[in-house]
Structure formats: C-alpha cells, structure tokens
Structure 1
C-alpha cells in the first residue's frame, strides 16, 4: 500500500533511470549493484506494480514506470527546494520577524532598534506587538520576546542581553515644594507613585556602598500598571517613584527629573531575549545580536 512505501527508494529509482543501468547507478549512489536491484524490487513490491523491464542488455520503463518517474522527479525537486529554503532561512535574515515586548521598553528601546535593523536587513519585515501581558510565544506564533525585569520559570530559551538600573526620581518642582529626602527612611513621608504590577510596589530595599540594607514601606498617592504611565505622573509632579534608567535618563540629563539617594543601590533588572526552539532562524539571531550591540553602545 502507498503508506508503506519507503520514500528513500524513490531517489534510487530516479537515479537508476537517469544513469541508464544498474552498474552506473550503483557507482553514482555509492551502493552495490545488488543493493540498487534490491531497492527497485522492494519498491515495485510496495507499489504492487512493475516499473522497469530489464534484460541482460537493456532496461525500459513500463507505462506505470514512466508516469511514476515523472512524479518522483517532481517530488524530489520540491524536496530539494524546500531544503534549500530552510537553509536560506537558517543563514540569511529574511521573512517576517514577529516579536513582542512591554509597552515602555518597546517604545523607548525596541522600536528604535528595529528601525535600524530593518535598514541593515531590508529583506526582513517586522511585526512588533507591545503590551504589558506575557504573551504565549508558541500559541500566538511569536518568533521572539524581549522581556525586562525578572524572568519566571519557562521551557523557552532565554539569552541575557544586558541589565537596567532602577532610580528614585522626582521633579525639581515637587522637591522644592516637599523637600529632598536624604535617607531612604525619609521617602516614607513623600507621596509615592507605585507600579502595581511589581511583586512589592510599596516596599523597597536600598543597599548602601558599604553593603548595609534598609527596607522602606512607601505611602502611595497613585499607582499605574506600567512604567510609562508612572513616568508620566512623575513628570507631572504627582510624587516620587522608581523608574528604569532607559525611561528616566533623558529627563535627568535635561533637568526635568532629579535622581534621589544616588549613593544607594536598588536591585538591577535583566533584559532578556526569549524564544521557542533550540535553533532560532537567522532573522531572530541577527536581531538579538543587533539589540545586544546597541545596548552595549557598540
């Protein structure tokens, strides 16, 4: 029956017809003449029909063999083309790169990186999905996720691309009106803008240069579920908050925000590339390298 046919024998059959003899086919395939003959006999048995008529001097295709040979040539050509396409995707960035990341990091870092990546690789089209929920990469057919913070356990593969610092910030106007905290404990007397998606948005541990730790519980005046919204409220003078460096640095340089308690450290967050499968295609590998270089300032 057709579903019992050994498909490897198709290549032997095509090579035999092309070579014109069992001896020549055996030489081309690196097999013995007896092995070629055995493959043909088993193929005919599996198909339940005679493909070749042979004598001591010549061989010729039957009508069924002629039709089957044409089909086999087309099937093998299609298989070779499919293998070539897979190889091309493995080595050359191409096709659609579908990736996801958080709203704040996507707007501040990933989108500009994708713009320069597309200029380097015009054969790649980009589909960027930003949002603050954790997408299912396999079910939603994502090639890649760029995730910031602390990764949860997952069967997906992850590469650490870098890290970001967390900084306590406020506007000069807010500090002029409410005073500037000099010690972590003084933050408890200020209005705190919390990022609600964090595990402990109101409790922060500060580490001094000498290694001593101070944990402070804040008094909230507002909260939001992503860093971009917290950033906007801080800039509007609503209070004090922790922001990642990639959102705050430009405002700090411009004087719109002031870093508080710079002599203390807060936990650093990681920046990770997360993807399904052990061997990502070239488009994924190339963008990971591109983003890593941008984060390193190369």
Structure 2
C-alpha cells in the first residue's frame, strides 16, 4: 500500500506537468524512476493510465479519474504538513518563481529580502525575465505578471493597479512645442516596447472629458522598462513608464511628465499559479506578503 501511495504521488505530478521529464524536474528524480512508478500503477490496476508519445503524453479516462484522486491525496497531505509549519511560525519549503525583469528595480526585491529574513527555512528561486513561461511545463510554483492574463487555467490574484506616466527628458523637449493635448504628440518620437501595442488610450481628468488615442512613431524599440527609462533620460524620445520606475527620475527632474492633466490607463499586476499540491500554504504566505506593496 505504501508503494502505491508513493506511485500515486508521482503520477499526480505527471498528470499536472504533462510529461515524465517535466515531472522528474519537479520531483527531483530521474525520468526513468517516474516512468517506473507509473508503469507499476498500470500493472497493479491492469489498465493503461497514459497515452505515451515522443513529445507529450495524455491521460486515458482511467488516468484522469486516478489523477483527480491522486492530486487530492497529495494536496491534503502536503497542505497539512505545511499548515503545521505555518502555525508554528516557522514555514519551510522552496518556491520557484518567475517575475518580469523590471521587478528587479522595484520594491519587489526589498519585499522578497524581508520575507527571507523573516522565514529563514524558506528557499526561493526567482527568474527575472520578460519571457512568458509555462508554469506547468517548467515546474514553476508562481509567477508575477503585468497586464492582461493569457492563461485562464491558472489561478490568479490581482495585487495592485499600477499607474503609468508618459515621460520625456527636459533636454528632449527643449526647443519643441510642449504638448497641451494628445494631438500635439504627433511631432514626437516614441521609445516603444517589443511585443506591445503602441496605441495608448488616455482618459481625461481635471475637467477634461472623454478619451483620446494617439500613435507616435517608434524611434527605438526595447524589451526592458529600465532600458526605456535610461533612453528617455538620455533624450531619445518619449516613453510610458510604470510608477515604480518613473517615480525617482520625475522627482529629481531627469524626466518630466507630459500632459499631466491626462492619465495613461493603469495596468494590473497579478500573482498567478497552477493548482499544484504541496506549495499552497507557503505560496499563499509569500503572495500575501508581497501584496502588502499595494496597501
């Protein structure tokens, strides 16, 4: 019976990860050991649980039914263990996290450091990258993402609405007509972001009603918010920056806000995760701690 419970835990990881290799990376065992446990279950039950192919496997009907039971079993066991650790105010475990590259320059890093100091038995591996990553296939526990979410199968929590600023350096604006309305932006050049729309909707405020859309030609395209900020400071054009990047250069005059009577639409910052067993309590604790940034 104990061997079958271990095999069911391995099968649960296979069902969630979608392949023996991904499950082995998540569990820290070899793909051959993963395959051995699944095969042992199939022999014990005398029925196939997975359809194997060279690239990916899929579950049979029997496999889907067993996966639901196996995942519930593992989730209950691991959540119970971690809940006890949480109650003792000494949580332990490891989280594999991915976050946008720009978070390196935000309050996020300070909050992570504070969390680690508060919980010395916790290990966290963070990948700072703007590359979209598949959490299930890559065995990641948690992602922080900016803007619209792509995968509705993941669980998500909105942490904060991020404010954005349309900025340029005083040197870039020198000798140019200072924009009074969105239409005045036509003569300027944009520092754009790779893979993003360059049409920006602006909602009026301070007595200005309605919306205006404009599109400014890109002078340069980057894939880093920090790079866009530095290029704007060097006078290469106008750009849109999140508040946590724009705050310091606006405060010390390296950048100025364009059309301050208008507001650039905000963006959502989300925590997203697969419903993996075994990390729910620690993940919730970490997300709750990070979410305090927005309070």
TM-score (norm 1): 0.67
1:155 paired with 2:153, answer yes
Q: Residue deviations 1:198-217, cap 9 Å, x none?
A: 1x22x222221243111112
Q: SS where residue 140 of structure 2 aligns?
A: coil
Q: Residue deviations 1:131-189, cap 9 Å, x none?
A: 11111111111111011112124200000011101110011121224342111111110
Seen in structure 2, the aligned counterparts of structure 1 residues 144 and 84 have a Cα distance that, compared at 3 Å, is closer
Question: Residue 256 of structure 1 aligns with which residue?
Answer: 254
Question: Residue 204 of structure 2 aligns with which residue?
Answer: 208
Seen in structure 2, the aligned counterparts of structure 1 residues 270 and 104 have a Cα distance that, compared at 3 Å, is same
| Match of residue 217, structure 1, among 215, 218, 224 | 215
Question: Residue 293 of structure 2 aligns with which residue?
Answer: 294
Instruction: Return 5+ residue gaps in structure 1 as ranges.
Output: 6-81
Measure, in 2, the Cα distance between the counterparts of 1:165 and 1:292: 16
4+ residue stretches of structure 1 with deviation over 4 A? 82-86
Seen in structure 2, the aligned counterparts of structure 1 residues 267 and 277 have a Cα distance that, compared at 3 Å, is same
Quick check: 1:95–1:124 contact (8 Å CA) kept in 2?
yes
Query: What are the residue-to-residue correspondences of 1:47-62 with 2, within 5 Å?
Result: none
Query: What are the residue-to-residue correspondences of 1:1-298 with 2, within 5 Å?
Result: 86-91=79-84, 92=86, 93-198=91-196, 200-201=197-198, 203-209=199-205, 210-277=208-275, 280-296=279-295
Give, in angstroms, the shift of residue 84 of structure 1: 7.2
Q: SS where residue 128 of structure 1 aligns?
A: strand
Quick check: 2:142–2:283 contact (8 Å CA) kept in 1?
yes
Give, in angstroms, the shift of residue 117 of structure 1: 0.7
Measure, in 2, the Cα distance between the counterparts of 1:142 and 1:241: 32
Quick check: 1:170–1:257 contact (8 Å CA) kept in 2?
yes
Which shifted more, 233-242 or 205-214?
205-214
Quick check: 1:197–1:226 contact (8 Å CA) kept in 2?
no
Aligned residues: 216
Measure, in 2, the Cα distance between the counterparts of 1:143 and 1:288: 11
Q: SS where residue 130 of structure 2 aligns?
A: coil
Instruction: Return 5+ residue gaps in structure 2 as ranges.
Output: 5-74
Quick check: 2:169–2:256 contact (8 Å CA) kept in 1?
yes
Kindly report the root-mean-square deviation, in angstroms, between the aligned alpha carbons of the 2 structures. Answer: 2.4
Seen in structure 2, the aligned counterparts of structure 1 residues 86 and 220 have a Cα distance that, compared at 3 Å, is closer
Quick check: 2:107–2:293 contact (8 Å CA) kept in 1?
no
Quick check: 2:105–2:245 contact (8 Å CA) kept in 1?
no
Q: SS where residue 135 of structure 2 aligns?
A: coil
| Higher-Rg member (1/2) | 1
Measure, in 2, the Cα distance between the counterparts of 1:239 and 1:274: 34
Q: SS where residue 266 of structure 1 aligns?
A: strand
